[in-house]
Amino acid sequence: MTQEERSAAYYTANRERIKARSAAWRIANPDRVRATSLRYRTAHDAEIKARKSKHCVINIEKIRTRAAAYYKANKKKILATNRIWRDKNLERMRVQQATYRANNRDKVREYKIKHRERLAAQRRARRKEINVWQRAYRAENRERLLAQRAVNRAAHVERERKRLRKYRAAHPEIFREHEQRRRARKRNAIIGDTKAITKWIKELRSNPAVPCFYCGAVVDGRNGRECHIEHYVALSRGGPHSVENLRPSCAQCNLKKLAKHPDEFLRSRKAATA
Ligand SMILES: [Zn+2]
């Protein structure tokens, strides 16, 4: 009997006792067990990884099923843990996400298209919260964002022009209002509550039958050529750009009135019709 055979025979004969002894030793010496295992893992890192990934490939279905079952059974707990982790690692998450997005632009785009409706619903549900973030972000990064926008617009002049044209066609009332406000600002006019002005114009622009303030002729408010929006006291005479000073006017009256004082204009109209 060789030495090897002898020790194999001894092990077979005393298997249970040997196992119990080494288990007891392991329990008594957890630090040494940990150190040994760490040493082993460090020394055989590549080998262990290869073994694990081979195992994963072979058992992928089993692993997936198990993971899905575990997730389903512990969903609340997992989500809560994730939330805690995210709250603790906000900065790390941001960096991670930004890196992922930068490296996977196509995937991100595909995902956004595929889940467009769900994402939009999510945004709608958190609109207020998102607005607060965005406002804070814009305020904090104002200079940088303005510079970035200027650079982008300069780099895409043609695209920008097209965008404006499209926007203008889709929202003529907003555009007209901007234009009016710009003119009012240029004349140093007092500018009233812009939200109220928007609302007033929107209502006017959806009304198919608007009487001209000056002659009473009914015009289509939806048609900007027929129905003008007029400053009762002209901006050039110090009239404010505000709801109180806006009047719907037919094109003829508006063009005849120009910057005349309203009383003067009404008098001249009466004189003309008399
Ligand atoms: Zn008129």
Which domains, from first to last, does the chain contain?
Answer: 118-170 (no CATH), 172-273 (1.10.30)
What does the DSSP 8-state code read for residue 235?
G
Please say if the pLDDT value at position 262 is more than 80.
no
Between CA 19 and CA 193 the distance in angstroms is 85
Residue 46 clears pLDDT 70, i.e. is over it: yes
177-232 pLDDT, tens digit each? 778 888 888 888 888 888 899 899 989 989 999 999 989 999 999 988 899 998 88
All residues at 6 or more sequence positions from 213 whose CB lies less than 8 Å from its CB, including other chains:
230, 232, 247, 248, 249, 253
- With tokens 């995937």, the residue in question is 107
- Compute the distance from residue 221 Cα to the ligand 1 centre, in Å: 13
Is the per-residue pLDDT at 164 higher than 60? yes
Rounded CA gap, 210 and 165, in Å? 28
How far, in Å, from the CA of 194 to the mean position of ligand 1? 26
Rounded to the nearest angstrom, the distance between the alpha carbon of 261 and the centre of ligand 1 is: 15
pLDDT at 272 over 70: no
pLDDT at 248 over 60: yes
- pLDDT of 274 over the 60 cut: no
Distance from the alpha carbon of residue 253 to the mean position of ligand 1, in angstroms: 4
| DSSP code of residue 29 | -
State in Å: Cα 87 to ligand 1 middle.
63
Over its C-alpha atoms, the chain yields an Rg (Å, rounded) of: 38
pLDDT given at position 268: 73
Provide the whole-model pTM.
0.41
Question: Could you tell me what percent of the chain has a pLDDT over 90?
Answer: 57
Q: What is the rounded average pLDDT for all residues in the chain?
A: 89
Give the pLDDT confidence of 98-133 residue by residue, as tens digits. 999 999 999 999 999 999 999 999 999 999 999 999
For 146-155, what is the mean pLDDT? Answer: 88
Length of the chain: 274
